[in-house]
Amino acid sequence: MSQNIKILLSTTVCYLIMNFSFAQEPDGWISLFNGKDFDGWQVGENAETFSIVDGTIKVAGPKAHLYYVGAVENHNFKNFEFKASVMTKPGSNSGIYVHTKYQEASWPLHGYEVQVNNSQSDWKRTGSLYNIVDIKENYAKDNEWYTEYIKVQGNRIIVKINDIVVVDYTEPENPLREGNGIYRVLSSGTFALQGHDPNSIIFYKDIMVKPLNDK
């Protein structure tokens, strides 16, 4: 066998392995969490806040953030659809960050946070585009699984809770931001799950993404 053929076969095998290593659905959705371990994910501070329980990611402990650092899109997403099944315990607060970057500590500076909070004291409820478009109504309940969906296309963000649109935000050309909020803009980046405080208990599963083409 010639050296060129060997290289071609090796390249083809690597390509197939990379593509089939992701659990991709027929409609283009790709799983980011295998339900077994944190392969493709990385925690900054307080790693003990996150654990695997019955195929879910359990969030319970001091402030921490779990970042997707896996191979899908080289963990750098621009236009996409994202969805996850979420369950909160009473009095819990969490969030899903998009277009963010890995940090060793503190609250993520980059990107937007989509709120997970059905009953905690912060009035900004589940689905809020935190501090940008905040909603007071409850569209999900504690102790019940619900679907949190986020779509980013160009300068537009859509958030749905159980298929109900709760946020439809178009980022202006020069958004007005102050302080660290200057980084709350669309660019590209990864996803992160928030551990907010020791009194919050949240579960995540069925974490999926569908990359979209630029328009």
pTM of the model: 0.89
Which residue has 């919050």 as its token pair? 200
Parallel/antiparallel/unpaired status of strands 201-211 and 80-88: antiparallel
How does residue 26 score in pLDDT terms, banded at 50, 70 and 90?
A: confident
Number of Cβ within 10 Å of residue 39's Cβ equals: 10
Could you tell me if residue 112 is inside a domain? Answer: yes
Could you tell me if residue 16 is inside a domain? Answer: no
Could you tell me if residue 9 is inside a domain? Answer: no
Q: What is the pLDDT of residue 180?
A: 80
What would the pLDDT profile of 61-96 be if each residue is shown by its tens digit? 999 999 999 999 999 999 999 999 999 999 999 999
The enclosing domain of 206 has a CATH number of: 2.60.120.560
- Number of domains into which the chain is organized: 1
From the centroid of its chain, how far is CA 80?
11
Could you tell me if residue 4 is inside a domain? Answer: no
Could you tell me if residue 12 is inside a domain? Answer: no
Closest listed residue to residue 70, CA positions, set 28, 96, 37: 37
Q: Is 18 helix (H, G, I), strand (E, B) or coil?
A: helix
CA distance 202 to 60: 7
Q: What is the pLDDT of residue 85?
A: 99
What would the pLDDT profile of 150-202 be if each residue is shown by its tens digit? 999 999 999 999 999 999 999 999 998 988 889 999 999 999 999 999 999 99
Tokens describing residue 157? 């963000």
What would the pLDDT profile of 106-157 be if each residue is shown by its tens digit? 999 999 999 999 999 999 999 999 999 999 999 999 999 999 999 999 999 9
Q: What is the pLDDT of residue 15?
A: 40
Could you tell me if residue 3 is inside a domain? Answer: no
Q: 124-132: long-range contacts at Cβ-Cβ below 8 A with a sequence spacing of 24 or more?
A: 126/88, 126/161, 127/159, 127/160, 127/161, 127/166, 127/167, 128/166, 128/167, 129/157, 129/159, 129/167, 129/169, 130/95, 131/181, 131/184, 132/169, 132/184
Domain that residue 40 falls in: 24-211
Could you tell me if residue 11 is inside a domain? Answer: no
pLDDT over 70 (residue 105): yes
Tokens describing residue 19? 């593509």
Q: What is the pLDDT of residue 150?
A: 99
Parallel/antiparallel/unpaired status of strands 164-170 and 146-153: unpaired
Could you tell me if residue 10 is inside a domain? Answer: no
pLDDT over 50 (residue 19): no
Number of Cβ within 10 Å of residue 103's Cβ equals: 15
